[in-house]
Amino acid sequence: MFDHIDPRSPTPLYAQLASRLRLAVAAGELRPGEALPSVRRLAAQLRVNPATVVQAYRDLEHEGFLEMRQGAGTFVRDVPTGRRTSERIRQATVLVRQLIADAGRLGVSLDELHSAILEEMGAKAS
């Protein structure tokens, strides 16, 4: 799940981690009630500072995606469908914004980008 954590990115690691977890909850990849790895285990697995994992978990607890139970661990909360949908839409916007910025840098026009998207979507649907 955390393969794309990039220490070189200007986005802080805790924010990358939080964003990945938020999407996993929104997309149902993580189910309500499911236990997350302990701070110690996840930090060791990713070889990141434990404080980075703590901060990501805290942020998501604050947003209502996770629940940290003293001594028991960290669990996924039952997030209402509407909230999950809006989170996915937010992520979609982030992706598209990135795509448009990349296209601009490479000199690809918006029309060209748009038709490429439609074509790829058509290819996937058929």
Partner 1 sequence: MTHAIDIRGLHYRAGRSFEIPSLDLRVPTGAIYGFLGPNGSGKTTTIRLVLGLLRPRAGDIRVLDRPMPRQAADVLARVGYVPEQPHLDPTLTVREAMRFQAAFYPTWDHAWAEELLVAFELDERRLFGKLSKGQKGKLMMLLALAQRPELLVLDEPTDGLDPVVRRDMLAALIDYVSEGGATVFISSHLVHELERMCDWIGVMDQGRLVTELPMERFKNGIKRLVVSGAPPAVAAPFSLLSRERNGAATETWLVRGWEPEMHAFFDSVGASLQRVIDLDLEDGFVELLRTFRTLPPRPEEVR
Q: Which residues are at the interface with partner 1 (CB under 8 A)?
A: 7-10, 12-13, 39-40, 43-51
**Residue 90 is encoded by which pair of tokens?**
């937010």
- Residue 27 CB, nearest approach to partner 1 (Å): 26
- Closest to partner 1 by CB, 8 vs 69, is 8
Nearer to partner 1, 26 or 52 (CB): 52
What are the Cα distances from residue 77, in Å, to 13, 19, 32, 38, 106?
A: 23, 16, 5, 16, 41
Nearer to partner 1, 47 or 124 (CB): 47
The whole-angstrom separation of Cα 58 and Cα 80 is 20
- What minimum distance in Å lies between the beta carbon of 102 and partner 1? 14
In this structure, what token pair is assigned to residue 79? 């997030």
CB of 12 to partner 1, least distance (A): 6
In angstroms, what is the minimal distance from the CB of 38 to partner 1? 8
DSSP codes, 71-101: TTEEEE----HHHHHHHHHHHHHHHHHHHHH
Question: Which residue, 12 or 80, is less far from partner 1 as judged by CB?
Answer: 12
**In DSSP terms, which residues pair with 69 in a beta bridge?**
73
